[in-house]
């Protein structure tokens, strides 16, 4: 399916340089020239560009998304290097967002990369979401994941939620107002969230598949994961999918949903 485009969206054609650069992904069953052009004229937000979001951002940049906004706080530490592939031993101690953005720019100068050096607040998440065509939530906490879910619903922008723990990864794609949102799936976030240990391979695999979903949505290629939960069990080498149903009483996407919050908890 092809998602609706924003009226203000550019429709710039591919340059000869871009046609050459992306030649090995343009062809039957992958991207058409029109699909690659749509990708070029699209923007994506990846919030948290660590173990999952880093590979997701990298895949989007390499594929030729036009504009990418990344959000991540803090400085790189040695324990990050089992999974955060946008960092390196040379950048330990450096602010993640700025250096990860530089790393992405070095992979494809044809892509515009913006970065913010902290996790978005409610208000920022909504503002950022209104500037893009797809949101990738690669955040480690339910609080952040649900914040991005609310922002995507309020802005009418598709959301890809990627999560991981241990050797397991999950993906959910939300088409706002049409398919189940993250709150439909998780009415009550767990009281305790296990973040570590995690092996980089499952984080990277989950992030890469999140990017693939975004590329499909942006380019109009294939069938997006909308309305399904994809669980990847790395322990047993299995994966399965569940069809999701919207919750009639969902406080985020149901009839009682309020407009997105505009808090100013943090700048």
Site residues, Zn ion (CB under 5 A): 181, 183-184, 250, 252-253
- When the beta carbons of 154 and 204 are compared against Zn ion, the nearer one is 154
**In angstroms, what is the minimal distance from the CB of 181 to Zn ion?**
3
Give SS3 for 214.
Answer: helix
**In angstroms, what is the minimal distance from the CB of 170 to Zn ion?**
16
**In angstroms, what is the minimal distance from the CB of 142 to Zn ion?**
14
- When the beta carbons of 176 and 220 are compared against Zn ion, the nearer one is 176
Contact 202, 234 (CB under 8 A): yes
Number of Cβ within a 10 Å radius of residue 120: 24
**In angstroms, what is the minimal distance from the CB of 246 to Zn ion?**
6
DSSP assignment string, 1-66: --PPPPTT---PPPPHHHHHHTGGGBSTTSB-HHHHHHHHT-EEEEE--STTHHHHHHHHHHHT-S
- When the beta carbons of 164 and 179 are compared against Zn ion, the nearer one is 179
- When the beta carbons of 165 and 186 are compared against Zn ion, the nearer one is 186
**In angstroms, what is the minimal distance from the CB of 174 to Zn ion?**
8
Instruction: Mention every residue, 6+ apart, whose C-beta is less than 8 A from residue 83.
Output: 50, 51, 54, 198, 199, 200, 203, 204
- When the beta carbons of 113 and 184 are compared against Zn ion, the nearer one is 184
């Amino acid at each position: 399916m092809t998602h609706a485009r924003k009226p203000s969206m550019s429709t710039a054609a591919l340059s000869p340089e871009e046609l050459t650069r992306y030649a090995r992904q343009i062809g039957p069953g992958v991207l058409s020239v029109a699909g690659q052009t749509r990708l070029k004229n699209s923007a994506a937000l990846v919030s948290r560009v660590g173990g999952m979001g880093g590979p997701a951002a990298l895949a989007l940049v390499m594929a030729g998304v036009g504009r990418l906004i990344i959000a991540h706080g803090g400085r790189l530490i040695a324990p990050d290097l089992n999974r955060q592939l946008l960092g390196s031993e040379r950048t330990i101690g450096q602010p993640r967002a700025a250096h990860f953005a530089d790393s992405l720019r070095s992979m494809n100068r044809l892509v515009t990369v913006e970065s913010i050096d902290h996790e978005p607040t409610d208000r920022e998440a909504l503002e950022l979401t209104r500037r893009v065509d797809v949101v990738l939530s690669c955040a480690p906490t339910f609080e952040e994941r649900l914040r991005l879910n609310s922002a995507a619903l309020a802005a009418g922008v598709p959301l890809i939620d990627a999560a991981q723990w241990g050797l397991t990864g999950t993906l959910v794609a939300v088409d706002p107002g049409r398919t189940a949102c993250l709150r439909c799936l998780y009415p009550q976030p767990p009281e305790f969230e296990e973040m570590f240990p995690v092996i980089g391979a499952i984080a990277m695999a989950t992030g890469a598949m999140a990017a693939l979903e975004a590329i499909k949505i942006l380019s109009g290629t294939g069938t997006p994961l909308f309305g399904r939960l994809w669980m990847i069990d790395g322990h047993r080498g299995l994966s399965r999918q569940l069809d999701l149903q919207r919750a009639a009483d969902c406080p985020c996407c149901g009839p009682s949903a309020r407009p997105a919050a505009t808090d100013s908890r943090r700048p």
